[in-house]
Amino acid sequence: MNARLSIGLLVCLCICGALVLPVQSHAKELTLPVCYGFSCKIRQIVSITPAEWRSVVNWLDGAATTPEGERQQIRQAIGWMEVVVSRYTPTHLDKGMNLENRPVDMIGQMDCIDESINTTTYLTLFEQQGRLHWHRVTDRAYRGALFDAHWAAQIEQVDSGVNYVVDSWFQDNGMLPYIAKSAEWVDLRWTFFRNQKNN
């Protein structure tokens, strides 16, 4: 075989190979920590597949034209992320809130600390991959009262500087989280749960 034919065959093999190889044939699983069991007592490292991750961030595909639109995308993405993660943890058993008549050792149950840490983790992944355009992730929000201390994940609308909580504690696993201005969330306490249940 002459040199010209060899080079031509090599180029052809390279081009054909590039066409048939999957774009992300060697994509790695996404590994992240997940908390549950109250106050992050149980911390489990979870690996989700590239296909599962795409199914989550698909909710954020197509940059939202308004901050309100992006917050709706965030709700959908967080809700579905909880479903994906619950395939590998007992968090699929988590029920909204952790009322006194539920045992704190209930398998898969999460309190607001668990929920706020997990949601912050998910939001941070979205931000790191450039999926958020109108918001950035900030420190978790806290409201304190004698019998009603509560934590929630928090984002800031970049153009206005207004903070919003992303609070999934009030809903069962996989349901859409509650999003509200942080200033309002601090004062709403239990009433916003009743309002949210009607939405």
- Tell me the domain boundaries of the chain: 30-197
Please list the alpha-helical segments (H only) found in 21-66. Answer: 50-57
Helix axes 112-128 and 67-85, enclosed angle (nearest 10) = 110
pLDDT of residue 120: 98
| Cα dihedral value 126, 149, 194, 164, nearest 10 | -30
**Nearest alpha carbon to residue 81 among 154, 173, 13:** 173
- Provide the whole-model pTM: 0.79
Mean pLDDT by 10 residues, the chain (199 residues): 40 34 51 94 95 96 92 97 96 80 72 96 96 96 79 97 95 93 77 49
What's the confidence (pLDDT) of residue 161? 96
Dig out the tokens for 184 from the structure.
């309002």
Q: Which residues contact 77 (CB under 8 A, 6 or more apart)?
A: 56, 57, 59, 60, 122, 126, 131
